[in-house]
C-alpha cells in the first residue's frame, strides 16, 4: 500500500486492488444521526457495553434479519471488531492456551491471540475445503492445550464461506471438547449468490450461548474510521467482558454509537443491498479477468471483497510478483505473506473495493502484462 501510494504521488497511474475497506461513503442517515448527537453534546462516556438503544437495535437486527432472539443483554458494543475479538480472547484465553485458526487468515487475529499470551496455531487450508477449517480438521488438531477456534466466514483474504452445516458442526465439536468458538461475521452481509447467514441461527448454538460472534459496522455500513463493532457474548462471559471493556476502552466512541443506531433502518438496508449488487458485479469481472491473466481461482469467492488468487503460474515469489505488477503494470495487490505461512509465496490478494471501470482497467492491464523474465 505504501509503495502504491508512493508510485501514485510520483505521477503514475495505479489501479488499487490492494485496499481492504469499502470505497463507498457512510450512508446519509448514519452521518446525520452522528452529526446530530455531536451537535446535541452527546459526546460523553457511555456505558462500557454501549448505549442501550444501540444494543436494542442490534438485537432487533438478529430478530428481523434471521428470526432469532438475541437479547440486548448479550450484545456488547465495541471499538471495532478488533476491540470485540480482543475482549473475547482476553476473557477466555489463558497464557499458553492454543487457539486454532485457518492459514491463510486475517493476520490481526493471530496477533491478538499473542497479545493475550495465547498461542495461535494456524491450520493450513486450501481449495479442497474452500480455504476454511472443517470439524474434522479441528478434531484432528485439538490438544490438551487448545482453548478454542477462531473462524471467519466470509474470510479475509479468501472471500470464502464456511457452509452453515459445517460451521454448526465445528461449533458443536468445540463445545463438546469444552472449548470456545470465536466466529468473525464482519463480512456476513456482503455475500453473493446466497442470503446472509449467522452461526447463531444454527439449532442449539444460540441457546447454549457458546460461540462469541464478532461483527462490525465497518464493512456492512462503510464505517471503517468510526471504529464501531459488536459482539454477541455468551452469558457466562459477560461479567469478565464488561470488566475488561471498562478497563481497556472505558466506552466505545459516542458519535459512532449514536450514528450506528440509524444504520438498522430500511433506508440504509436499501443502500447496503445496492452496494452488495455492485460488489457482486465487480467480483465477477475481477475473477474472470484474473483467470484470463494466468491466475488460479479454484474456488469462487462468495463473500467479502477479496480474491485470493494462485499466482505461482506467473512467478514463484508472490512478493516479487506484487512489486512487478505495481512497477510494470500499474496494478496494486497484496502478497500472501501478509496472511500466514501456508503457501504465501504462491498467492496474491486482490480486492474489489474500487469502481467497476477501475477493475475493468486493472484486468486489462493484467491481461496485457506478461512476465518479462
Q: Coil, strand or helix: which one is 206? A: helix
| By the rule CB under 8 A, 339 interacts with a copy of itself | no
Q: How far apart are alpha carbons 248 and 6 in whole angstroms?
A: 35
Q: Which residues pair with 229 in a beta bridge?
A: 78, 216
Q: How far apart are alpha carbons 134 and 263 in whole angstroms?
A: 33
| By the rule CB under 8 A, 161 interacts with a copy of itself | no
Closest of 286, 344, 294 to residue 314, by C-alpha: 294
Q: Which of 14, 99, 135, 254 binds a copy of itself (CB under 8 A)?
A: 254
Map the footprint of a copy of itself across residues 109-128, applying CB under 8 A: 111-112, 115, 117
| By the rule CB under 8 A, 1 interacts with a copy of itself | no
Q: Which of 131, 192, 212, 226 binds a copy of itself (CB under 8 A)?
A: 226
Map the footprint of a copy of itself across residues 59-88, applying CB under 8 A: 79-80, 82-83, 86
Helices (H) and strands (E) in the chain, counts: 13, 12
Output the smallest distance, CB 225 to a copy of itself, in A: 3
Comparing CB distances to a copy of itself, the nearer of 221 and 350 is: 221
Q: Coil, strand or helix: which one is 303? A: strand
Q: How far apart are alpha carbons 219 and 272 in whole angstroms?
A: 10
Output the smallest distance, CB 364 to a copy of itself, in A: 27
Question: DSSP letter at 180?
Answer: E
| By the rule CB under 8 A, 38 interacts with a copy of itself | yes
Map the footprint of a copy of itself across residues 233-252, applying CB under 8 A: 243-244, 246-252
Within 10 angstroms of residue 121's Cβ, the number of other Cβ atoms is: 17
Q: Which of 46, 146, 153, 311 binds a copy of itself (CB under 8 A)?
A: 46
| By the rule CB under 8 A, 35 interacts with a copy of itself | yes
Within 10 angstroms of residue 239's Cβ, the number of other Cβ atoms is: 10
DSSP string, 127-151: GGGTTS--HHHHHHH--TTEEEEEE
Comparing CB distances to a copy of itself, the nearer of 62 and 182 is: 182
Comparing CB distances to a copy of itself, the nearer of 68 and 72 is: 72
Where along the sequence are the contacts to a copy of itself (CB under 8 A)? 21, 25-26, 31, 34-35, 38-39, 41-46, 79-80, 82-83, 86, 90, 95, 107-108, 111-112, 115, 117, 223-227, 243-244, 246-256
Amino acid at each position: 500500500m505504501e509503495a502504491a501510494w508512493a508510485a501514485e504521488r510520483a505521477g503514475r497511474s495505479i489501479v488499487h486492488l490492494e485496499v481492504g475497506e469499502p470505497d463507498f461513503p457512510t450512508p446519509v442517515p448514519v452521518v446525520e444521526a452522528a452529526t446530530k448527537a455531536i451537535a446535541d453534546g452527546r459526546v460523553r462516556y457511555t456505558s462500557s457495553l454501549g448505549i442501550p438503544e444501540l444494543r436494542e437495535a442490534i438485537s432487533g437486527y438478529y430478530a428481523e434479519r434471521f428470526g432469532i432472539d438475541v437479547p440486548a443483554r448479550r450484545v456488547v458494543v465495541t471499538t471495532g471488531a478488533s476491540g470485540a475479538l480482543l475482549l473475547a480472547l482476553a476473557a477466555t484465553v489463558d497464557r499458553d492456551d492454543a487457539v486454532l485458526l485457518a492459514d491463510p487468515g486475517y493476520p490481526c487475529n493471530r496477533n491478538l491471540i499473542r497479545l493475550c499470551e495465547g498461542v495461535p496455531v494456524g491450520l493450513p487450508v486450501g481449495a479442497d475445503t474452500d480455504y476454511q477449517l472443517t470439524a474434522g480438521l479441528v478434531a484432528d488438531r485439538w490438544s490438551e492445550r487448545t482453548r478454542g477456534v477462531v473462524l471467519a466466514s466470509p474470510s479475509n483474504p479468501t472471500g470464502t464461506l464456511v457452509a452453515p452445516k459445517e460451521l454448526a458442526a465445528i461449533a458443536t465439536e468445540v463445545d463438546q471438547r469444552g472449548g470456545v468458538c470465536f466466529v468473525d461475521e464482519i463480512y456476513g452481509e456482503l455475500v453473493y449468490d446466497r442470503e446472509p447467514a449467522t452461526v447463531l441461527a444454527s439449532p442449539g448454538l444460540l441457546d447454549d450461548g457458546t460461540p462469541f460472534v464478532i461483527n462490525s459496522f465497518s464493512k456492512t455500513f462503510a464505517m471503517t474510521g468510526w471504529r464501531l463493532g459488536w459482539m454477541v457474548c455468551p452469558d457466562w462471559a459477560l461479567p469478565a467482558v464488561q470488566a475488561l471493556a471498562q478497563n481497556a476502552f472505558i466506552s466505545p466512541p459516542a458519535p459512532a454509537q449514536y450514528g450506528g443506531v440509524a444504520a438498522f433502518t430500511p433506508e440504509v438496508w436499501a443502500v447496503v443491498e445496492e452496494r452488495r449488487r455492485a460488489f457482486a458485479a465487480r467480483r465477477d469481472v475481477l475473477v474472470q479477468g484474473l483467470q484470463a491473466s494466468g491466475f488460479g481461482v479454484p474456488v469462487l469467492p462468495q463473500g467479502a471483497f477479496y480474491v485470493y488468487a494462485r499466482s505461482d503460474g506467473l512467478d514463484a515469489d508472490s512478493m516479487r510478483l506484487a512489486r512487478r505488477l505495481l512497477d510494470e503494470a500499474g496494478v496494486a495487490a497484496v502478497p500472501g505473506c501478509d496472511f500466514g505461512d501456508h503457501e504465501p509465496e504462491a498467492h496474491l490478494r486482490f480486492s474489489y473495493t474500487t469502481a467497476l471501470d477501475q477493475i475493468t482497467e486493472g484486468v486489462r492491464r493484467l491481461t496485457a502484462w506478461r512476465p518479462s523474465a
